[in-house]
Structure 1
Amino acid sequence: MQTEVETPLKPYAQEQKIPSLWLEIIRRLFKQKSALIGGTIILFFIFLAIFAPLLTTYSFKESVLENRFLPPLSEGHFFGTDDLGRDLFTRIIYGAQISLRVGFLSVIGSIVIGTMLGLIAGYYGKWIDMIISRIFDIMLAFPSILLAIAIVTVLGRSLTNALIAIAIINIPTYGRLVRSKVLSLKEEEFILAAKAIGMKNSRILFHHLLPNSMTPIIVQGTLGIATAIIETAALGFLGLGAVPPTPEWGTMLADSKDYIQLAPWTVIFPGISIMLVVLGFNLLGDGLRDTLDPKMKK
C-alpha cells in the first residue's frame, strides 16, 4: 500500500512579502524626476551650509577695502567681492545656513501650532471651530508680507523676530488644511468605532486623526519652506530682517542694489541662490504630492 507524503504548506507570509510603506514611498519618490532634481539642489545647499567653514578660508564679515568690487575668479575670490571687500562666495555659503535654518524652523513652528488648532477646530466644532476659523480668516485677510512687516515692526528688527513673524503668518495655512481633513475623517467608521468603545478624545486626535492628516501637511510643509525663504529674503531686502554683517541673502541684495551697474555679481549670486533653493523645494514638494496622492498610484 502506497502512502501519501504530505508536503508542508508554506506560510502565506513567506510567499508574499508586503513592502514597507516608507520603502514604497521612497521607491516611488525616486521615480519622480522633479523630486530627484529638487532633492539634489537641496542636498547641495545643505552640504554648503554644513561644511561652510571647510570650504573657504575667509570670514563672512572680514572686510578688506583694498579689494572692493573685485570681479569673479580674481585673486582667490571665486564670486568676487562686495562694496566692503568681503568675499562673496563666503557670504553666500554662510547665507545658506541662515536661509535654511529660518525656512525649516519657521515651517516647523507653523505646522505645530497650525496643526493643533486645526485638529481642535475640526474635531470639536461648534463655537470652538467658529472662534479659531474667524481668527484664521482675519489673518488671511491681510497680505502675508504686510502682516510680517507689522509683526517685525512691533517686535524689532532681528533675524529671530523675522523667523517668528514668518511662522505666525503661515499658521492659518496649515490650520485650515488640517481642519478640512479632520472634518472629513471624523465621520469615518474607524473614528465612530473609537468613540463607541469610549476612547478618549486626546487619543483619537493624536493616534487616529493626526497620522491620517500627515500627507497634506508634509507636502505643504515642503512647499512652505520655499515660501518662508522668499519671505525671509523680502524682509531682509526691506531692512527688517538680519542685521549687518549677517550674510542673509535678502540683506545682501538690499546692500548691493545701488551697485547693479558697477558690480552686477553682488546682486546676481545672492539672487541665483534664492532662486535655486526655492526651485529645489518646489520641485521636491511637487514630487511628494504626486508620490503621496493615492490617485497617482497604478
Structure 2
Amino acid sequence: MKFDNPEDIGQLTPLWEGERFENGRPKVDEDILRRMRKITLEEAWGPLWNRGYTFQFEGDFKIMHPEQVMVGRAVTAVMVPKRPDLHETLLDYGHEQENRHGFFNQWVIDSLVEDDVVVVDMFDKIHSGTYVGGNLSTAIATRTKRGGAVIWGGIRDNQQVKEIGGINVYYRGSDPTAIADVTMVGMNVPTRIGKAICMPGDVVLGTPAGVIFIPPHLAELTVVQAEKSQVRDVFGFIRLKQQVYSTAQIDAAWNTALWQDFIDWFNHDDAAAEYRHLSWDDELEDARKREHDGPRSDVRL
C-alpha cells in the first residue's frame, strides 16, 4: 500500500471534474470556499440530503471556538489500535520508501496547504489518543491559514490551542497524555467520523451545531442553493413587513407575478447586491410552466 496515493484518490473521486492537487485530491475553488463561510449548516445539509447523501453530518463534538465557522478542503486519515507487526511495517515504509519524518500524525500535518482541514478517525480514542497539541495545532494554523481539524478522538494542550488564532478544532475529548499505541492505515482515504463519512477533498463546513462534509462535485450547487434561499428570505421578510404578501404566498411556490416582483427587487435593491452573481432563469421558467400547465390533478402522498 501507499500513503496519499494519487491513483487511489482519483479512483475514489470520479465525479469531480475540476482542478486537483498534485496528489489527486479535488481542489474546490477558493471562491466557493469563501461563499461557503456565509451559509448555515441547514442550508448546506438540504441539497445533500435531497440527493441521497444522508451520512454527511456529525454533531457530537467539543468545539474549541464555538462562535467561529470553519471551512476548508479535507485531508483525511484513518488510525487503528496498534498491532506491532502492522505498526512497524507501515512506519518503516513511510520513513524509508516515502521519505516521511516523525510519527503518523506529523506526516498528515506536514502535507497541509492553505485552506485545508485535517479530518481524522482516531476511533474515539482520547487517553493516549491526542492527535494534536500546542505544537501541531500551531503547525496547522501556519500551513492552512484559515483551516483546522476535525478529530474523532482526543487533543491535548487545550489552553495553548485555544490561544492559536485562525483555526478551529472539533474533537471528542482532551487528555494530558501524548499520542500512543495507534497506527495510521490510510491517508486521504474514505474516513468515518461518527455517523458521517468524509472523502479527501470534501469541503468541511464546521458550525456551532457540528460538521458537515460536502462532496466536491456538489460544493458549488450547495452554495448556490444556499445563497438563493438566503436572498429569497431577505426579500420575503421585507415584503411581509410591508404587508404586500401573506406568509402563505411567501412559503408556497411563487407565481410569475411574485417572481417578477422579486427579480425587480433583486436587480435594484442594495440588500441583494452581494447575491447578483445568481441567475433566476430556471425558477422563472418553472413558474411560467406551472401556470401554463394549470393545477395538477394528481396528489403526492
Q: Please, what TM-score do these two structures have when normalized by structure 2?
A: 0.23
Q: Which has the larger radius of gyration?
A: 1
Q: Give the number of the structure whose residues are more often strand, by fraction.
A: 2
Q: Give the number of the structure whose residues are more often helix, by fraction.
A: 1
